[in-house]
């Protein structure tokens, strides 16, 4: 569910007409709904009711400080994967004890930053990382709380580029070596082993891979406790998918996911952490664009938009589908025609959809890409010296620009000309 609905023939974001925001901000722009962000976070929080838990929003999905602050005020923790994301979470008012630091390549500088600013735990992913973290913590006179990310060799049955829990993926340590690695961690002076971490992928639309992974985590918890480790926290990752189309696609609900967690690991008495990102932010955002031209080609018509692959790279990178809808609601009987929907970037890959059935559109018409709140703005670039897409947040009847579109001078003036030129 989201809060982008047609009313009186126009697409609204909560109580604000999308066309009014486009007139004020210009296109393209990302638009987020506070009500949808709030609802989706609370679904996860309520799904784990009755357990000791923390819902840590995955910052990489959509990292604007306004989004982070909205969720932090609801009690969310944050899952970060870089020093920059850690700094964003702190700037948004998230206390260190609610921040989990994940990622395979944490630098010593990032470790030091988090230990100085406060951290709930590091999810470590290799023996060299454990050794480095122990060194940094010891040098600072600190002890770093850690969970070790185990790779359960479970096929998440998702796109290959977002699968993270198979043996050939770069993430975590093989679960077959977990007891050996935990013994090494316990022997390091700068570490406090507090739990187990697992994350098998993103955009999962079936609960069975989660069940397989969590059953393995439960077995490992019992084994590690038998070895003398005080396993008191389980970080079960994120990855629950969203419906990117309005067809019969129906990923599991957070309530079903929460029930599975209680069934598989609830008996262990551990504090539960989960790291949803896509399901919190995905349907909470749209990308609004204008039609520049409608071009007739050889056997096909092109809808050329002012948004491009640098603004929304998911279709080019993942062959991802986004529903595209006119901002002005078409009549029920309106003729639909096939368009190749493309952007103005000089790449054949700058294609959002091929032969997409849409109502007839004309230059100047507004369209919206649905389900664009996650991995949209955060993956944008300034390729072709195109300004980064602005972001806008709606809250009932009000809206605010939460990241402005930079002027060309701002972009160009970041360059430094060496003295010999």
180 CB-near residues (< 8 Å, 6+ apart): none
* Mean pLDDT value across the chain: 93
Question: Which range among 74-78, 186-190, 197-201 shows the weakest confidence by mean pLDDT?
Answer: 197-201
CA nearest to 323, candidates 312, 333, 335, 310: 312
The pLDDT of residue 161 is: 44
pLDDT at residue 4 greater than cutoff 60: yes
pLDDT at residue 167 greater than cutoff 70: no
- In angstroms and rounded to an integer, the radius of gyration of the C-alpha atoms of the chain is 23
> At which of 252, 274, 296 does a domain end?
274
pTM: 0.94
pLDDT at residue 165 greater than cutoff 60: no
Question: Which range among 82-86, 171-175, 190-194, 213-217 shows the weakest confidence by mean pLDDT?
Answer: 171-175
Structure confidence at residue 169 as a pLDDT band (50, 70, 90): low
Could you write out the DSSP letters of every residue in 90-102? HHTT--GGGEEE-
The pLDDT of residue 35 is: 98
Overall average pLDDT of the 286-312 stretch: 95
The pLDDT of residue 243 is: 78
Q: How far is it, in rounded angstroms, from Cα 232 to Cα 224?
A: 11
Domain for residue 146, yes or no? Answer: yes
Kindly state the percentage of the chain with pLDDT values over 70. 95
The pLDDT of residue 242 is: 83
Overall average pLDDT of the 163-170 stretch: 50
Whether the Cβ atoms of residue 68 and residue 94 lie closer than 8 Å to each other = yes
Structure confidence at residue 149 as a pLDDT band (50, 70, 90): very high
Catalytic center residues:
346
> At which of 274, 293, 328 does a domain end?
274
Count of domains forming the chain: 2
Q: 179 by DSSP, 3-state: which?
A: helix
Q: Are residues 188 and 315 in the same domain?
A: no
The pLDDT of residue 164 is: 45
The total number of residues written for the chain in this structure: 421
pLDDT at residue 362 greater than cutoff 50: yes
> At which of 242, 274, 306 does a domain end?
274
Q: Are residues 215 and 122 in the same domain?
A: yes
CA nearest to 100, candidates 116, 123, 73, 126: 123
Overall average pLDDT of the 363-392 stretch: 97
β-partners of residue 144 are 191
Domain for residue 65, yes or no? Answer: no
Domain for residue 299, yes or no? Answer: yes
Domain for residue 90, yes or no? Answer: no
Q: Are residues 252 and 319 in the same domain?
A: no
Domain for residue 87, yes or no? Answer: no
Q: How far is it, in rounded angstroms, from Cα 295 to Cα 277?
A: 37
Which residue is associated with the tokens 């043996």? 167
Structure confidence at residue 158 as a pLDDT band (50, 70, 90): very low
The pLDDT of residue 168 is: 55
The pLDDT of residue 249 is: 61
Domain for residue 79, yes or no? Answer: no
CA nearest to 112, candidates 136, 83, 79, 84: 136
Tell me, what CATH number does 344's domain have?
A: 2.40.37.10
pLDDT at residue 166 greater than cutoff 70: no
Please write the tens of the pLDDT for every residue from 304-352. 999 999 999 999 998 999 999 999 999 989 999 999 999 999 999 999 9
Structure confidence at residue 155 as a pLDDT band (50, 70, 90): low
Please write the tens of the pLDDT for every residue from 232-270. 999 999 888 887 876 556 788 999 999 999 999 999 999
407 CB-near residues (< 8 Å, 6+ apart): 387
Q: How far is it, in rounded angstroms, from Cα 41 to Cα 62?
A: 14
Q: How far is it, in rounded angstroms, from Cα 390 to Cα 407?
A: 11
What is each CA distance from 14 to 23, 66, 116, in whole angstroms?
17, 17, 40
Q: Are residues 119 and 246 in the same domain?
A: yes
The pLDDT of residue 108 is: 98
Q: Are residues 299 and 389 in the same domain?
A: yes
Q: Are residues 256 and 158 in the same domain?
A: yes
Q: How far is it, in rounded angstroms, from Cα 75 to Cα 65?
A: 15
Q: Are residues 176 and 157 in the same domain?
A: yes
Q: How far is it, in rounded angstroms, from Cα 113 to Cα 87?
A: 9
Structure confidence at residue 271 as a pLDDT band (50, 70, 90): very high
Overall average pLDDT of the 154-173 stretch: 55
Which residue is associated with the tokens 């609960």? 207
Q: Are residues 232 and 288 in the same domain?
A: no
Q: Are residues 241 and 107 in the same domain?
A: yes
Tell me, what CATH number does 250's domain have?
A: 3.20.20.10
Q: Are residues 268 and 288 in the same domain?
A: no
Q: Are residues 247 and 220 in the same domain?
A: yes
CA nearest to 197, candidates 171, 222, 163: 171
Q: Measured in Å, how far apart are the chain's first and last C-alpha atoms?
A: 56
Q: What is the DSSP letter of 204?
A: B
Q: What is the DSSP letter of 176?
A: G
- Domain interval for residue 302: 4-31+282-412
Q: Are residues 315 and 245 in the same domain?
A: no
Conformational region of residue 272, where left means phi above 0, alpha means psi within -120 to 50, and beta covers everything else? beta
């Amino acid at each position: 569910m989201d809060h982008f609905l047609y009313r009186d023939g126009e697409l609204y974001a909560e109580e604000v007409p999308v066309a009014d925001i486009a007139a004020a901000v210009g296109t393209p722009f990302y638009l987020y709904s506070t009500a949808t962000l709030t609802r989706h976070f609370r679904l996860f929080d309520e799904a784990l009711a009755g357990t000791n838990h923390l819902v840590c929003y995955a910052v990489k999905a959509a990292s604007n400080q306004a989004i982070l602050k909205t969720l932090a005020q609801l009690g969310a923790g944050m899952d970060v994967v870089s020093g920059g994301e850690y700094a964003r979470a702190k700037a948004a008012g998230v206390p260190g004890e609610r921040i989990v630091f994940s990622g395979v390549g944490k630098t010593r500088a990032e470790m030091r930053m988090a230990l100085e600013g406060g951290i709930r735990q590091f999810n470590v992913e290799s023996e060299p990382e454990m050794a480095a973290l122990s060194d940094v913590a010891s040098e600072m006179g600190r002890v770093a709380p850690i969970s070790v990310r185990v790779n359960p060799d479970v096929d998440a049955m998702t796109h290959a580029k977002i699968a993270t829990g198979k043996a050939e993926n770069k993430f975590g340590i093989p679960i077959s070596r977990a007891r050996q690695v935990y013994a090494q961690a316990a022997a390091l002076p700068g570490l406090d082993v507090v739990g187990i971490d697992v994350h098998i992928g993103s955009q999962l639309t079936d609960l069975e891979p989660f069940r397989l992974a969590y059953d393995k985590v439960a077995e490992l918890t019992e084994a590690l406790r038998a070895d003398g480790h005080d396993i008191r926290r389980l970080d079960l990752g994120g990855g629950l998918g969203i419906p990117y189309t309005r067809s019969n696609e129906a990923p599991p609900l957070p309530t079903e996911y929460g029930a599975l967690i209680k069934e598989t690991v609830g008996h262990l008495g551990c504090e539960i952490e989960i790291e949803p990102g896509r399901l919190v932010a995905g349907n909470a955002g749209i990308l609004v664009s204008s039609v520049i031209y409608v071009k007739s080609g050889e056997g096909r018509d092109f809808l050329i938009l002012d948004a491009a692959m640098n603004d929304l790279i998911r279709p080019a990178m993942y062959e991802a589908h986004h529903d595209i809808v006119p901002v002005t609601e078409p009549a029920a009987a309106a003729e639909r025609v096939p368009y190749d929907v493309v952007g103005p970037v000089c790449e054949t890959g700058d294609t959002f959809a091929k032969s997409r059935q849409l109502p007839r559109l004309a230059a100047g018409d507004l369209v919206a890409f649905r389900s664009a709140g996650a991995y949209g703005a955060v993956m944008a670039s300034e390729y072709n010296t195109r300004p980064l897409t602005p972001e806008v947040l709606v809250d009932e009847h009000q809206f605010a620009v939460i990241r402005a579109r930079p002027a060309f001078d701002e972009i160009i003036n970041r360059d430094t000309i060496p003295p010999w030129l």
